[in-house]
Structure 1
Amino acid sequence: MLTFDDFFLLHKPFADAVAAQLPLPATIDLYALAADGTMQTLYEHSLGPCRPVPEKIHALTQPWISEGQLVFPFPLESGEMAVAVVCGIDPPFLRKMSVSWLRETREILLDHFAAIRLSCTDPETELHNRRASIFFLQGVQEDQGGFFFLINTVFCRRTAAGNLQKLKETADLLHALGRGQYFSFGYGVFGLYLPFPARKNALKTARNLQHQLRREGMSKVQIGFARIVPVQQSNDQECLARYWRALAVAEERGPFGMCDIDAIDARHPHPFQMNDCTLQEQGKQQWRRLRQFTLALITLQPSCELTESWIETANKGVAGAGGTAIAGTGQVLLIFPDHPRESITKSIEVVLDDIRKRFGGESFHAGVAFWPCLDFTKSDVLGNCLKAQRHAAFLGPGSVVYFDHLSLNISGDYFFDEGDYRAALREYRRGLRLQPGDVNLTNSLGVTLVECNQLRGAVSCFQDALEQEPDNYMALVNLGRVRQTLGHSNRALACFERAFAVHAEERTAGQELFLPLARLYTEFGRHAEAITVLEHWMRCAGSDQEFRLFRLLGLCLLESGRPEEAMQACQKALRLFPQDSVSLSILGLLYVEQGQGTEVGLSLCAKALSLDNFNPDHWYRLARAYWYIGRYGEALDACKHCLHLHRHHAAAVVQLGMVHQAMGRMKQAKKYFAQAMSLKEYTASLADRVRGQLDQF
């Protein structure tokens, strides 16, 4: 059945389909009916949650004529109502249209809409496809705001079928991560439209998507985006060109690169470039031949008016240090040649004191930088003044900052947030040259190296930070995550445990610690400790929206012999993410083992495998369910499937031994129990299960 998103995204071809069925030229607009029966534009309706109309309105299917307009109603499965409004047809001609013709035309339109929807849907992911995105972008109106994202995801499966399955899984996960209209471009590339008016919200969303998809094992998540704008008769390639350019820049920035192409094209939002070119050129004339100089850039509030007499006063104030004052648009640049630092500082304070007297103590912020400094050129010094000003902005109005390692930390953070990791690395490394061993810079450098997949370099950074602050929360968590990625599970666990012991009760602690710690405890069979961590996480704000929390809690409760609570946890996870194959698999096993319905339980296990049959745990749980109900042949096959995908799956080897034991093959059962004991994944809980089986021999 048609959805609201179909009408919103395919507005243009739907309107064309209506026009093609009319005997006369007309203007067609699509609207959504509000609960009170008034019409809203599709864009306005998309900004809020789903708002069903009353049943009386939703039951309408017969077209009607109102105020000289022909209205075709289209009730939607969600309880909402979309309408096509035809304007510009002569009223006497409208009145001649028969009821039966209008009814037949509506049925024809439904068939056309369904055909258009089918041609604009990706069969693998069931999302709207590239063609739909082009229709949507070509139909953008002047009053329509928001951003369009292209998301490139890279995952590794051994077979083509596995890649297709992962593609569908990713599409389902994207819907669970947040609202918005998603598109599938194929080959792991997705589109997303969000109606955010502010760029900071778009950046925050892109960063959150990267973080969440990375937690699902993606080796690359690159995002390019731009603000949507109306296009004039563009072809298909031109319509998407800006967004593909943004994605290309993001790919150049690293495996988790990000790019807003508007910021690159406009350049003005870049906070470390002078917009006042005249002031910059006048300054260059002054410092061009100097071997050493200091610049002080003062930015005033718009209400402050600089007069020629004040500039003369400022020049007198800096004359003692050989300085010069140049006025620009809302800015003053002070230039000092090679002079003692103390005299320069005094001269700057003289000018700032005069500004405080004339305009108030909070009327400015100032940044001071010098040359030579590190590997900066003379032309870079004004940019360093702007970095110091950004630093001053954090301290509040009326602040002055001398360019230092903290200024570089702040500018590095800016580039990091923009997804320009190479620029961020450059700033952090420069900061460490000014202040070797700074913990914040060292940690930031390590995080950026992780984003660039330079994991061993990141480990060195986090270790350096911990040498100075052994209990530094972010260094411990980041080092643990990198060691986990490198396969050093025991050393990763030690980092997470230390962070949890010291910081668990602090507000800084969050899912970046609780989730990997609980996962490692689960991996080592330490389910009681995992439950303690997860229950602690449940007391944190926002945890009720984390499907991974309840999924993992369900698994640990199952293995701890608390089935009723495990079922509740899995059901919570599935309410948040209905396509979560792991929760479906666990819940299916619980239904079988707790006598809640064998067929229902097996069907849930089968559904989990239909979503992801490359997950060996799903096959293991299916084998365990078959063993429980005495279907040993099918249990044997499921165990073999699991071990084909992961030959060292200790729980599956134990289960295989239990199946052979149930079939009376004691020799083979002992063989598999002995084999399980030699595996790395053999945990204390599995040992208890094996001892229980051996007692029956």
Structure 2
Amino acid sequence: MGFPYVAPVATLSRHDFIRFELQFVKSLLEFFSCQSVRFIIGEGDEWVESYGHSAELSEAVRAGVTLVRQGNKPVVGPEGQTLFLPIRQNGELVAVAVLTGEGENQYRRYSEDWLLERGKLVVREFSLIKRWAMDPVSGVLNAIHLREELQILLALAETHSAPPDGQLILIEVAMRAQGAGQLLQNISLIAAYLDSLIGIQASLHHVGAGVFALIRNGSNMDEAQRFGSVLLRKMKRQGTQEGDPVRLRKVHVAITPLSAVTHGHFESSDDESAVDHLLDLAWQTLETARKRGSFSTSVAADETMVQQHLLAPLAPEVMARLKRVWKGENEFSLVAIQKDIADQDEFPSRVIVLAGEEVKVVVLDSSRAIIYLPGAEEEPAAEWACGFVNRINLLGIGTFSMGVASYPCPGFHKLDMPANAKKALVHTQFFGAGTITSFSGVSLNISGDIYYNEGDLVSAIREYRLGLNLTPDNVNLLNSLGVIYAQLDDYAKAIPLFERAIALNVNDFMALFNLGFAHLCHGDQDKALESFERAEKIDDTHFDLLLQLGQLYCQRGKYKVAVRVLTKAEKVVSSQGRTGKRVSLDRGDSGSEERQGLLGHGLVYRYLGEAYKGIGHNREAMTYLQRAARYNSRDSESLSQLGELYAAEKQGLDIALAFCRQAVEIEGSRASYWHRMAVVLDCREEWNEALEAVLRCLSLDPGYVDALMLKASLYEKLHQPQLARGAYEKVLRLDGTHSRAVKALKKINQTRRKV
């Protein structure tokens, strides 16, 4: 293992204009006076805006960029108000900065030489920003960059007089390590894995000690919570199979909305104070996640957020009024009613009057109320609600949605009824405005999902189990409860739940998919493969399933089948890339599970490379492994295989050796990496160095037959036949039918007799 720190690379890349966009814009404004700045990045004829602010470049912008590319110099637009500034480094055009000035002819007064000189200063400044922002341990962005990014986002929100949109997500990982060197190496490996997993959806930061952070700008909390759940499940699976970087003992995910700086008692125009508050709240949220288990999430919640929660309990005074109303009653219904668009300061009095004197209306706030229906069972209560909605519609004051809960209800007490009515009301959101839903097991599935996405697994388990009490054969509830038990490593409970769901519906994709992963994490690859293959027959377009199948086939040497399923996975990646479509996540929907951004899609290239290598298509293998290395520059498996293929295809032994050395420096505990490096050194006729590498390989795996054969061959080349003979004899003790070892040993013995 080499020195465990990554030297920051100051050379600019196209990706830098995405992750450093805010800092680069801020820096450019210090060199030029302008109203706006955009960066155009690309290569060849494909040039796009760095953050995809528009679907396509305008004709004027495209023409300006073309002129810059052709002339290698700054270009001023026809009106003199637009400047196209080339960002060049080492003779290569990396990006074009498009500056829009404050008036006509603003940029015509500058000479070409002055603009070129300024451009060089800008490139130097950008390079310094990149060097300043990188963390030497992990190779990703550092905490200083995170703070500045947050300051800029909060300042922009204040400028626009709107709450900041997006979330700060902290990810804490814990792994076993022997000594500081291995700990630093593991952090670097996990950083590379996370960075490739997330891709361009967000920029990854290493805060320190295995705590990472990213900012999801522009997404809502539902998307962020689902993203967090998907990320957590993928990281939990990480390390369960050969080739995974590190086995993680614990992962905690904390999600904090950027708008938290304007919630409750805290509001500040001081950006630094706001950032401090946001980071403090995020850290408190991470501490909550730690208390919830080894693999858990938590969502930030201050007092205001708690009160606004969809499933927040009713105020004590409201509950007291309801208890007085239903005292002594053995049968009644509650209707939770909500105005779909809250546009008044108080609940409409006309609605209260319209309800009639025979019912009791308890107002909760300006848009919600609870209506008590004495003696009403579920069906009559639902009919009453339908008639009430029709009467409200005649008032012309907007639509109202309603959730109905009736008592008695199996497994519930009177005090549970208001919460059940609220859960039924949340259920109506799936059907649109002005709808009515009665409380059911599905309502509990939805409330369980809400708690699950917030990381409150205890509450989620309670909701799912209550739902199963009402509807024991609900496949979605069985699946949902099984997922949580699997997350808690309780496979004895998870596996039977998935099997029960499959018994109810043999074509339930999610049950088969989840069962496969439960068996995989439980160490039973045969059963996992069987479940995955059954799931593929139902849906062969599910990316994560196809990736997992391809990985298992590669491990078993079924490379032709692996190419088939991984090619399908690649098509899923490319089709989503062309449409740019954002797909919502739903744990019960086989078509959307984990597809937001296709987390980890870079891995498909590594396994396609391995599969093509396995069937002897080395050129195709090299293409895919190179793509994999671009997605994750510290993907040691891809680098090691690339080195082997470069040597086999005579593409340059120096490059081959560089790849192999990089692989063992990243992860020196893999015997196969040392074997591949020994093979390349053998091709270079550096036999002593090759022998050192093969001995290192055998110290990690004494029974590695190919390494023993190479060791014997190297001893022969180094004129040490007795040591070669010993190596061949060990091969035959491991595999008595090894024909090459038999022939080589026979040859050595014949030579010895002649001597």
Return the offset for 1:388: 1.6
Distance in 1 (alpha carbons) for counterparts of 2:323 and 2:462? 25
Distance in 2 (alpha carbons) for counterparts of 1:120 and 1:340? 65
Structure 1 residue matching 2:646: 3-state secondary structure: helix
Which residue does 2:168 correspond to in 1? 148
- Write out per-residue CA displacement over residues 568-614 of structure 1, whole angstroms, 9 at most, x where no aligned residue: 33234334444432222112111211222222222221222233333
Q: Does 1:514 align with 2:546?
A: yes
Distance in 2 (alpha carbons) for counterparts of 1:267 and 1:226? 13
Distance in 1 (alpha carbons) for counterparts of 2:235 and 2:710? 32
- Which residue, out of 497, 500, 510, partners 2:530? 497
Q: Does 1:138 align with 2:151?
A: yes
Which residue does 1:597 correspond to in 2? 652
Distance in 2 (alpha carbons) for counterparts of 1:544 and 1:593? 35
Distance in 1 (alpha carbons) for counterparts of 2:125 and 2:388? 73
Distance in 2 (alpha carbons) for counterparts of 1:509 and 1:112? 45
Contact 1:53 1:79 in 2 (8 A): no
The alignment covers a number of residue pairs equal to 650
Contact 2:399 2:433 in 1 (8 A): yes
Q: Does 1:551 align with 2:606?
A: yes
Distance 1:564 1:117, change over 3 A: closer
Which residue does 1:353 correspond to in 2? 387
Q: Does 1:609 align with 2:664?
A: yes
- Write out per-residue CA displacement over residues 107-163 of structure 1, whole angstroms, 9 at most, x where no aligned residue: 999988877765553222343322332333334433464332222123334443233
Distance 1:427 1:452, change over 3 A: same
Q: Which moved more, 1:554-563 or 1:301-310?
A: 301-310
- Which residue, out of 216, 223, 232, partners 2:270? 232
Distance 1:13 1:470, change over 3 A: closer
Structure 2 residue matching 1:267: 3-state secondary structure: helix
Distance 1:228 1:629, change over 3 A: same
Which residue does 2:204 correspond to in 1? 182
- Write out per-residue CA displacement over residues 465-488 of structure 1, whole angstroms, 9 at most, x where no aligned residue: 344445543333323322222323
Contact 1:405 1:431 in 2 (8 A): yes
Equivalent residues in 2 for 1:385-400, closer than 5 Å:
385-397=421-433, 399-400=435-436
Which residue does 2:416 correspond to in 1? 380
Distance 1:167 1:326, change over 3 A: closer
- Which residue, out of 398, 401, 419, partners 1:365? 401
Contact 1:449 1:458 in 2 (8 A): yes
Which residue does 2:749 correspond to in 1? none
Equivalent residues in 2 for 1:170-209, closer than 5 Å:
170-176=190-196, 177-179=198-200, 180-209=202-231
Distance in 1 (alpha carbons) for counterparts of 2:518 and 2:713? 37
Q: Does 1:167 align with 2:187?
A: yes
Distance in 2 (alpha carbons) for counterparts of 1:100 and 1:566? 47
Equivalent residues in 2 for 1:203-222, closer than 5 Å:
203-217=225-239, 218-222=248-252
- Write out per-residue CA displacement over residues 637-663 of structure 1, whole angstroms, 9 at most, x where no aligned residue: 223323434556565456556656777
- Which residue, out of 477, 486, 489, partners 1:450? 486
Q: Which moved more, 1:651-660 or 1:548-557?
A: 651-660
Q: Which amino acid aligns with 1:481?
A: F
Q: Which amino acid aligns with 1:461?
A: L
Which residue does 2:466 correspond to in 1? 430
Distance 1:503 1:446, change over 3 A: closer
Structure 1 residue matching 2:295: 3-state secondary structure: coil
Equivalent residues in 2 for 1:70-469, closer than 5 Å:
75=87, 77=89, 79-80=94-95, 118=131, 120-140=133-153, 141-142=156-157, 143=160, 145-176=165-196, 177-179=198-200, 180-217=202-239, 218-228=248-258, 232=270, 234=272, 237-238=276-277, 240-262=279-301, 265-273=304-312, 282-287=321-326, 290=329, 293-302=332-341, 311=352, 314-315=355-356, 319=358, 324-326=360-362, 329-331=366-368, 333-337=370-374, 339=375, 341=377, 345-356=379-390, 358-359=392-393, 363-371=399-407, 373=409, 378-397=414-433, 399-469=435-505
Structure 2 residue matching 1:220: 3-state secondary structure: strand
Distance 1:107 1:405, change over 3 A: closer
Q: TM-score, normalised by structure 1?
A: 0.77
Distance 1:415 1:281, change over 3 A: same
Q: Which amino acid aligns with 1:526?
A: K
Distance 1:45 1:607, change over 3 A: closer
Return the offset for 1:75: 4.5
- Aligned-pair RMSD on alpha carbons? 4.8
Q: Which amino acid aligns with 1:672?
A: K
Q: Which amino acid aligns with 2:428?
A: A
Contact 2:40 2:96 in 1 (8 A): no
Which residue does 2:583 correspond to in 1? none
Distance 1:671 1:119, change over 3 A: same
**Sequence identity (%):** 25
Structure 1 residue matching 2:401: 3-state secondary structure: strand
- Write out per-residue CA displacement over residues 207-228 of structure 1, whole angstroms, 9 at most, x where no aligned residue: 4443444454344332223233
Distance in 1 (alpha carbons) for counterparts of 2:257 and 2:476? 33
Q: Which amino acid aligns with 2:206?
A: S
List runs of 5+ in structure 2 lacking aligned partners: 1-10, 42-48, 75-79, 103-108, 240-247, 262-268, 578-600, 747-755
Q: Which moved more, 1:230-239 or 1:572-581?
A: 230-239
- Which residue, out of 696, 699, 707, partners 1:644? 699
Distance 1:514 1:14, change over 3 A: closer
Contact 1:31 1:84 in 2 (8 A): yes
Contact 2:509 2:539 in 1 (8 A): no
Which residue does 2:7 correspond to in 1? none
List runs of 5+ in structure 1 lacking aligned partners: 20-26, 37-43, 62-66, 88-94, 678-686
Which residue does 2:556 correspond to in 1? 524
Distance in 2 (alpha carbons) for counterparts of 1:164 and 1:668? 39
Distance 1:381 1:215, change over 3 A: same
Q: Which has the higher contact order (CA 8 A, sep 6+)?
A: 2
Distance in 2 (alpha carbons) for counterparts of 1:431 and 1:651? 56
Distance in 1 (alpha carbons) for counterparts of 2:613 and 2:472? 50
Distance in 2 (alpha carbons) for counterparts of 1:588 and 1:287? 76
Contact 2:256 2:281 in 1 (8 A): yes
Which residue does 2:8 correspond to in 1? none
Contact 2:134 2:140 in 1 (8 A): yes
Q: Which moved more, 1:550-559 or 1:133-142?
A: 133-142
Distance 1:651 1:193, change over 3 A: farther
Contact 1:405 1:432 in 2 (8 A): yes
Distance in 2 (alpha carbons) for counterparts of 1:564 and 1:119? 39
Distance 1:126 1:83, change over 3 A: farther
Q: Which amino acid aligns with 2:650?
A: G
Q: Which amino acid aligns with 1:423?
A: S
Distance in 2 (alpha carbons) for counterparts of 1:7 and 1:462? 45
Contact 2:253 2:289 in 1 (8 A): yes
Distance in 1 (alpha carbons) for counterparts of 2:88 and 2:168? 26
Q: Which amino acid aligns with 2:526?
A: L
Equivalent residues in 2 for 1:573-584, closer than 5 Å:
573-584=628-639
Q: Which amino acid aligns with 2:207?
A: F
- Write out per-residue CA displacement over residues 57-101 of structure 1, whole angstroms, 9 at most, x where no aligned residue: 99789xxxxx9xxx9x994647446799999xxxxxxx9xxx999
Distance in 2 (alpha carbons) for counterparts of 1:620 and 1:182? 33
Structure 1 residue matching 2:560: 3-state secondary structure: helix
Q: Which amino acid aligns with 1:452?
A: L
Q: TM-score, normalised by structure 2?
A: 0.72
Q: Which moved more, 1:78-87 or 1:180-189?
A: 78-87
Contact 2:360 2:373 in 1 (8 A): yes
Distance 1:435 1:649, change over 3 A: farther
Q: Which amino acid aligns with 2:199?
A: G
Distance in 2 (alpha carbons) for counterparts of 1:599 and 1:410? 58
